[in-house]
Amino acid sequence: DLIQAGAKKIAGVKYPLQATSRGYFSRAVDKELLKSELTQFIRTEKGERVMLPKYGLSLRKFLFMPLDEQLASDIKEEVYRGFARYLPHVLILKFKIFQNEKINYQGLPGLVIKLLVKSKERGNTIDFQLEL
């Protein structure tokens, strides 16, 4: 992340990477940067990053399981533990999980995780939703 002189804005790489006229690396600032950090972290499965094998969350293992209190608790624990380790600057204000009937594979519903998060460093608050 880069800090601009004077404005004290923190900038980083926008995720997901997309081809633009200036190359693949676009810049993200403020809420867009926070959303990029969350997207990259949550969509990365543990073991995918060679030099950081514990980076990310193991959420795929929860797919196709019936959503009950124990499963919701296990997912919440996975998210909170991952954030504490790799995104300590992000505070989870609200956490919700529910089935998504629109995502359907062989009769089994998908999962939706909704977060309301706040950046401790920048003070930005965003709603974030992940569909599995």
Sheet with 125-131, edge to edge strand ranges? 90-105, 108-119, 125-131
Q: Smallest Cα–Cα separation from 79: which of 120, 111, 124?
A: 111
The predicted-structure confidence for 30-63, as pLDDT tens digits, reads as follows 788 888 888 889 989 999 999 999 999 998 888 7
Alpha helices in the chain (DSSP H): 30-43, 69-86
Return the amino acid letter for 57: L
φ/ψ of residue 71, rounded to 5? -65, -45
Are 51 and 65 in contact, with CB atoms under 8 Å apart? no
How far is CA 103 from each of CA 31, 45, 100, rounded to the nearest angstrom? 27, 20, 6
pTM over 0.85: no
The predicted-structure confidence for 79-104, as pLDDT tens digits, reads as follows 999 999 999 999 999 999 987 766 55
Return the amino acid letter for 39: T
Task: Quote the tokens at residue 60.
Answer: 């795929």
